[in-house]
Amino acid sequence: MELQQAIRQRRSIGKVLDLPVEKEKIERILESAVWAPNHHHTEPWKFFVMTGEGRRVLGSAYANAALDALDALDGMEAEEKEKRLAREEAKAMRAPVVIAAACSPSTNPRVIRSEELAAVHCAVQNMLLTAYEEGLGAVWRSGEPMQHPAMKSAFGLKNGEELVGFIYIGYPAMISPEGKRIAAKDKTFWIS
């Protein structure tokens, strides 16, 4: 596959089939991630691959993160609360493979934290492109629950470490939407 073709045609695929994904494909996806650029060669990434029942770690963390917000709501009946928590847990089961990507920044005083995060973001982009090349659908999910202490605890993250996203991977169960972008020339300013 041509690189430019992959860059232009890869799309986030949120609907995937409930079929196992070969371990070799996941390993190639992870191997591409570790080749992302990173200043000072710190390699600040950590990956947690969840399949099968292992996805329940993420499901429990989603539910625990939601619990604080639900507890703050006055008058919510126990049955409704249970339904909402079950929906949170089910988020982890939307794909047969979920990879949590985390940043473990270097403590070297020369290293800038934002560069460490950028390196992990680049690693995730490599993962998405490789998943596409492997014939898989993938979507990078993030959001407020990633910052909750329950999430950090679920993955054993230390102080200073943080999640940058969950990559849901599986065989596509939808047609890839057509992409649209504003031309680079309309967003580029040449300074001579």
Tokens of 87: 């929906």
- Mean pLDDT lowest among 24-28, 76-80, 95-99, 180-184: 76-80
Contact 129, 122 (CB under 8 A): no
Predicted pLDDT at 74: 67
d(CA 135, CA 147): 31
Matching residue, tokens 């992870």: 30
In tens, the pLDDT along 28-85 reads 999 999 999 999 999 999 999 999 999 999 999 999 999 877 777 767 788 888 899 9
Predicted pLDDT at 189: 97
Tokens of 22: 């070969």
Contact 168, 141 (CB under 8 A): yes
Matching residue, tokens 């290293």: 111
Where do the structural domains in the chain lie, given as residue ranges?
3-174
Report which of 98, 172, 131 is spatially closest to residue 25, judged by C-alpha positions. 131
* 3-174 topology per CATH: NADH Oxidase (3.40.109)
Question: How much of the chain exceeds pLDDT 90, in percent?
Answer: 87
Predicted pLDDT at 78: 80
In tens, the pLDDT along 107-152 reads 999 999 999 999 999 999 999 999 999 999 999 999 999 999 999 9
Q: Report the interhelical angle of 55-72 vs 78-90 (nearest 10°).
A: 150
d(CA 169, CA 3): 20
Contact 164, 120 (CB under 8 A): yes
Report which of 25, 33, 4 is spatially closest to residue 140, judged by C-alpha positions. 33
Question: In angstroms, how far apart are the furthest CA atoms of the chain?
Answer: 65
Predicted pLDDT at 69: 79
d(CA 184, CA 186): 5
